[in-house]
Chains A and B, each alone.
Chain A
Amino acid sequence: MDEFEDDAGVIKRFMFVNRKAPHGTIYALESLEVVLISAAFDQDVSLAFLDDGVYQLRKDQDPAAVDMKNFSRTYRALEGYDIEKLYVCKDSLAERGLTEEDLVVDVEVLDRAAMARTMAEQDVVLSF
């Protein structure tokens, strides 16, 4: 749109905050859809996984068993879109008996203080 042309070239820090488990509701899948689109906008994109959101990254998901799409592989493809900042909440993993080894992709595990600092640096936070 014309009114937006002046701002071409702006780079903002976008964070996608994922706090819900996959499959039970659509939020995890739809968050990932926006992440993929955002890659085309050359923004500074990061993803945060906390609370039940850490289950989105769990290995061995096979939603074909409930006739749903398996999008967990897509997290591994994000690197190809230059989306490399994946932050996972340390306490959320521990509370759920998970470790980094249980996840489909390499992530940066952050404690609460580091996660809070990273969130506070963002220009746009999209929560699903």
Chain B
Amino acid sequence: MKFGILVNEGPYQHQAADSAYLFAKAALEMGHEVPRVFFYMDGVNNANKLQEPQQDDRNVVQRWSELAESHEVDLVVCVAAALRRGIKDEILAPGFRISGLGQLVEIGVEADRLVTFGD
């Protein structure tokens, strides 16, 4: 089955980003597809490679990049939400790209299920 995932909150502030990642990872391990994860509102902060979590903590941004690399997950960051928060191409972690909200509606149409994580 194809899952689209929507992430509306930033990392380290709210559990939504962690829940979304763990859901995506479980789905992929079970042989499902996650063609796209869409990051919206504060969720765009998941894409910022400048973040340096403490050594003993999880690296939320890097985890997404690794998922994109190993399973060809398209990590899309909403352009309007990103620009107003200073998230630009030059600070995007690997695997992320900036695009429009149409990418969210598109994955809603194309995926079998769209699962939302937020506040």
Contact = CB atoms under 8 A, between A and B. Distances in A.
Do A and B touch directly, given a CB cutoff of 8 Å in the complex?
A: yes
B102 A37 contact: yes
B41 A34 contact: no
B96 to A, nearest CB: 16
A77 B81 CA distance: 23
Nearest to B112: A123
B114 interface: yes
Interface in B89-112: 100-102, 104-106, 108-110
Nearest to A4: B110
Nearest to A12: B109
Contacts of B77: none
Interface of B: 6, 8, 35, 40-41, 74, 80-81, 100-102, 104-106, 108-110, 114, 116, 118
15 contacts: A4-B106, A10-B109, A33-B101, A34-B105, A37-B102, A37-B105, A41-B102, A43-B105, A124-B109, A124-B114, A125-B114, A126-B6, A126-B116, A127-B118, A128-B8
